[in-house]
Chain A
């Protein structure tokens, strides 16, 4: 079955603390994974994708096929990082179908 699991509904940290938002997936094919973010009163938007291996706004995510994980990390959280974060798996078939996790709300306190 194709599934994305984000075990934490809420992650609450203080400014400057490290952040790790967990994402695990279940997929028999070759996975393509993404992180989308929704800031307050803004649209859902792409944060990063695993194939790019890039750092966006200080966030990185590494695909670990052995552990079937794609955790999102940032060494020093900022208040403006507070948002809803969704991990998404693109399934093969050429139709750009995304399976989203349930989302994790990140709250960064001053």
Chain B
């Protein structure tokens, strides 16, 4: 299936733990993104990588560290989880050509920190 996929879909963990969310796209895109959607459905960009290079780095606690092993994968690692990290995290990708700049979103990972 051609798409952006994320694992896991749901993640429930305790405060202080370290967790990772994985994202993979098989669309042949060069650029990938991580977004956070809070409880009020507000969607905010966190990071973006282009061909494994970090190009967007918003004001995000340094407990969040993205890692891109290759241009088809962008993982998000979160250290010392806090209650406020509870949210839905979306991965997205897009092609480099501005005419094809639609962002394709994954299904989201719902993170609940207890």
Q: Decide whether A and B assemble into one complex.
A: yes
A→B interface (CB under 8 Å): 43-46, 49, 84, 86, 90, 95-100, 102-103
16 contacts between A and B (CB under 8 A): A43-B4, A43-B104, A43-B105, A43-B108, A44-B90, A84-B41, A95-B31, A95-B48, A95-B50, A96-B48, A96-B94, A96-B101, A97-B45, A100-B42, A102-B40, A103-B42
Q: A43-B108, A44-B43 are in contact. List 4 more A-B contacts (CB 8 A).
A: A43-B107, A46-B103, A96-B31, A103-B41
- Residues on the B chain within 8 Å of A98, using CB: 45, 103
Q: How many residues of B contact A (CB 8 A)?
A: 24
Q: Write the B91-104 contact mask toward A (1 if CB under 8 angstroms, else 0).
A: 01010001001111
Beyond A86-B43, A96-B94, A102-B42, is A45–B105 a contact (Cβ under 8 Å)? Answer: yes
Does B83 reach chain A (CB closer than 8 Å)? no
A102 to B40, CA, bound (A): 8
Beyond A95-B50, A95-B56, is A100–B43 a contact (Cβ under 8 Å)? Answer: yes
A43 to B104, CA, bound (A): 9
Chain A nearest Cβ from B7, distance in angstroms? 15
Q: Which of A84, A90, A95, A98 has the most CB of B within 10 A?
A: A98
A55 to B5, CA, bound (A): 29
Whether B56 contacts A97 by the Cβ 8 Å rule is yes
A90 to B92, CA, bound (A): 15
Whether B102 contacts A46 by the Cβ 8 Å rule is yes
Q: Write the B13-29 contact mask toward A (1 if CB under 8 angstroms, else 0).
A: 00000000000000000
A107 to B43, CA, bound (A): 20
